[in-house]
Chains A and B, each alone.
Chain A
């Protein structure tokens, strides 16, 4: 529904009442989802440029030039609301949508990463959502032949009623084949191809732009059903059209359907369009013109085709058995005009549709919990038991239950798949890229600014620990209701944090998505997600020989900790999962420390003495160490007593703190003495033990584990809730 202010703006601009079809267009296009009306005023805080960026925010994919004119396309989108209502189809169509987003620029999709969040796994409702979201992603991505190579899963009670499903897609395209989502030449034809148009997903965007309340079950028709076979054919045909340079413009039909694709493409091209809605191939015969125009049926693309290519395009679509129709033409008059069986049903200036909305004034104030004092850390009597318990947290535990349901290897480019710090892909031109997708919603909750910057830094550390250099960011900002001042404050603080990070490290943001209203009001009870700015980051690996392993490689190597020690346990999984505490101040983002640690890893890698590396994140040092031991059954013997004294921290702080800017590295012991890098950085480089042939992790004389013992807790953490 339009607000009174928005309706007034429409009346003023048009000088008349909008008709039903026009109103439907405004409702779709001026929704939060399509217009970014509450968020776009803050995007100037982002660093969005670098010499190698070929296309930044604003279209389906951000394009990054890797050299040799091979571009990597990135996109990241949320499909939260549909997944909460219908997890299987919601997640499946979320994957479908992000694939078509990057396809819009002519990119061949080569990898998917997913970030998914649910309530605690003890909850049957969360189990149901989790199980079906994973199945939906698996069903769709696998069938399309795109490997799902990474991502993250997080469980927290705040996501019980508002799960998050964010999907990222990576693609490649030759620079000279790039297609833009622009219709710039009057006289060009608009060709709609792919699936037929039905009533599904009508007003899906306005649905995504409101609270999920008790009544949402009745909104079921607003969720679309995906058809991955159709998507696969659509991908194959589109790539052929792109390769043959038959398209002057291309955009997928997502939120707002045709109304969005037509108005955005013409608005960017300073053109207009005439559409004949009766020519749109329908799945349900009795659809009203406005329904046809805003339907969000899946697997559809709108191509702009020059008259000279039209018959070739039609021939190709016919041969591939793909439904298509020439539904209109590009015009020069900056209006979007739609006819239905000869009657004009809609006539709107495209500028008004795309940019005409009044930006609402949003107020902000910090939530009450932000300033709350922190409770004392509980006394720890059984450290060994605490460690075992931590490994049984679904947030810490093995995620293979999830990623083994995803085809990780199709396209034969997956060098590192899920389960590593970052995915690593080998491209056709023998370049290697890495990608990670991260957010720690707990630290963002406690401090949106620092938590977001630290989450971005974590995504960066994930790239660094496989030997990649971070070069671009896509984000997906999942927040509560922007009309609530405290939710809006979380959002703005978070954007500031991401903005400062992108400038500090000169990593440009090339695309993203904002998902507000992840907040439920049931009987006046507010239920808001942890603010979750999911950060997707792309890295490049110049020399494939310098790809770093994430698990221990050899016995009797040295284990070192890089980065500052910290006594801060706030926001840690240890406090949250083991003791139910989520409050206090987190360790702030520190550019200098992040930079130093990163530089040290890069130099050690250049020197060739790193055997493996893993960044310290969820669960802290002990979890990171154990994860390094699991893969090859190589144990570790720690020697850390000295550290507690020198750095004045307690053992549990050392083991569980998740403070940023830290890595564990395994150093080849024979090369240690000769390393100039280590000699020069001896203060930031702290030896903590060595790898052993025994399959044990020995923390000190009192506490040690068989690797198997820890691994079993870790392996069972998710399946124990999902299987019998």
Chain B
């Protein structure tokens, strides 16, 4: 049964927990206004996706990818795709340049993260995480996790492409929720969903060739795929996640430290101060990539060890990297 049919892929149900994703040879741009068929394009993107998902799985990311079935078919976990997609940009290009009138190719010190609504009719508009949360598309906790995962994927893919002389300009990730609520990286990661430039010449290697009518789309896709196939061993990346856990006393529990602080603040004539609650904040550094599994681990640590649930509530935020200042 076809669960979903997209512009370049079909998703077919295998069983309750898994699906088959079939890559077709169609290519389209500008919300489907421009489209055509390119021979082997489905196969090449399927192979690129396979390789990149394998790499991400190896580095400890949680993805929907299970295995490659044929050169155009992947076996994946069955997921509910989240209504927002996440874009990460290392250099200015594409819609960002148009939106802000920027020159192409400006390198960002800190990669930019943007959320977009997955909706062709609305032309996939940009959305802030606040709006996405208010509209119920994602939870706050999820928004933070998606950003952290995307940054970690960026760090990983950047290094991988650099090793085959390609610059990762930007890319898009989609996420899905499995039947038991785990958030995983989903959809495809291919030349259709990212921008790649030749390191030396700056030559465009991705779907922009099609958008901009540069031609030789399949030659460049195939080149990317072949270079990826040459990668035999993965470099150690030492991916880290940093986490801030905040422990607060429950509202109903007396907070002597807060009361004493409040009294002394009032004594110092800081007017209009009504309440002080003193909490604890802990910083945790993990030598693993941000993921749903990490979130589960942190949930357990926060609930069972860092807090006493009888009197305390906890919350946490997960970030990619070891920069304590960020936390």
Contacts and interface: CB of A to CB of B under 8 A. Distances in A.
Nearest to B266: A724
3 contacts: A124-B268, A724-B263, A724-B267
A724 B267 CA distance: 9
A14 to B, nearest CB: 43
Interface in A96-131: 124
Interface string B246-275: 000000000000000001000110000000
B197 to A, nearest CB: 37
Contacts of B263: 724
B178 to A, nearest CB: 41
Interface in A120-177: 124
Nearest to A127: B264
- Main secondary structure on B side of the interface with A: helix
Q: How large is the interface on A (under 10, 10 to 19, 20 to 34, 35 or more residues)?
A: under 10
Contacts, number: 3
A124 B265 CA distance: 12
B248 to A, nearest CB: 23
B115 to A, nearest CB: 38
Interface residues of B, number: 3
B238 to A, nearest CB: 16
Contacts of A124: 268
A303 to B, nearest CB: 33
Contacts of B267: 724
Interface string B119-139: 000000000000000000000
Interface string A418-461: 00000000000000000000000000000000000000000000
A719 to B, nearest CB: 13
Contacts of A724: 263, 267
A358 to B, nearest CB: 47
A124 B267 CA distance: 10
B38 to A, nearest CB: 53
A724 B261 CA distance: 12
Contacts of B268: 124
Interface of A: 124, 724
A674 B263 CA distance: 60
Interface of B: 263, 267-268
A724 B263 CA distance: 8
A724 B268 CA distance: 12
B154 to A, nearest CB: 28
Nearest to B259: A724
A124 B268 CA distance: 10
A127 to B, nearest CB: 9
A239 to B, nearest CB: 31
A718 to B, nearest CB: 16
A124 B263 CA distance: 14
A401 to B, nearest CB: 14
B232 to A, nearest CB: 33
A566 B133 CA distance: 82
Nearest to B263: A724
Nearest to B267: A724
Nearest to A128: B264
Nearest to A131: B264
Nearest to B264: A724
B285 to A, nearest CB: 15
A129 to B, nearest CB: 14
List the 3 closest pairs (A to B, CB-CB), nearest first. A724-B263, A724-B267, A124-B268
B276 to A, nearest CB: 14
A387 B248 CA distance: 48
A724 B264 CA distance: 9
A601 B187 CA distance: 93
A322 to B, nearest CB: 23
A281 B268 CA distance: 44
A121 to B, nearest CB: 14
Nearest to A124: B268
A74 B247 CA distance: 43
A712 B280 CA distance: 38
B280 to A, nearest CB: 16
Nearest to A724: B263
A455 B168 CA distance: 78
A423 to B, nearest CB: 30
A11 B295 CA distance: 62
B144 to A, nearest CB: 30
B266 to A, nearest CB: 9
A134 to B, nearest CB: 14
B265 to A, nearest CB: 12
A724 B265 CA distance: 12
A321 B268 CA distance: 45
A122 to B, nearest CB: 13
A407 B242 CA distance: 38
A497 B157 CA distance: 78
A724 B256 CA distance: 14
B122 to A, nearest CB: 51
A146 B244 CA distance: 35
A124 B269 CA distance: 13
A374 B194 CA distance: 91
A724 B259 CA distance: 11
A513 B267 CA distance: 39
A8 to B, nearest CB: 46
A406 B268 CA distance: 28
A657 B267 CA distance: 38
A549 to B, nearest CB: 36
A442 to B, nearest CB: 30
A67 B197 CA distance: 87
A59 B263 CA distance: 46
A690 B268 CA distance: 49
A213 B267 CA distance: 28
A124 B264 CA distance: 11
